[in-house]
Amino acid sequence: MATLLSLHTPRPAAVDALRGERASVMVQVLGIAGFALLTALGAQVRLYLWEVPFTLQTVAVYGSGLFLGWRNGLLAQLLYLTLGLFLPVYAGDTFGPAYLFGAVTAGYLLAYPLAAAVTGLLSKRWNTLAGSTLAMLAGSLVLFSLGVAWLHAAAGHATWLESLERGWLPFIPVDLAKILFVGLVYAGVRRLR
Q: What's the pLDDT at 133?
A: 96
Domain contains 36: yes
Domain contains 28: yes
- Give dist(CA 39, CA 33) in Å, integer: 10
Domain contains 70: yes
Residue 131's domain comprises 7-191
The residue among 193 and 69 whose pLDDT is bigger is: 69
- Give dist(CA 190, CA 113) in Å, integer: 23
Residues with Cβ within 8 Å of residue 105, at least 6 apart in sequence: 51, 52, 53, 91, 92, 147, 150, 151
**Number of independent structural domains in the chain:** 1
0.95 exceeded by the pTM? no
Alpha helices in 54-171 (DSSP H): 57-83, 97-102, 106-125, 129-155, 160-167
> pLDDT at residue 42 above 80?
yes
* Residue 76 · residue 31 · CB < 8 Å: yes
The residue among 54 and 17 whose pLDDT is bigger is: 54
Arithmetic mean of pLDDT, 39-57: 86
Q: What's the pLDDT at 190?
A: 86
Domain contains 117: yes
Domain contains 124: yes
Domain contains 86: yes
**What is the CATH classification number for the domain harbouring 185?**
1.10.1760.20
Domain contains 118: yes
pLDDT band at 13 (very low <50, low <70, confident <90, very high): confident
What DSSP state is assigned to residue 84?
Answer: T
Domain contains 2: no
- 48 burial (CB, 10 Å; 0-12 / 13-18 / 19+) is exposed
Q: Which amino acid is at 110?
A: L
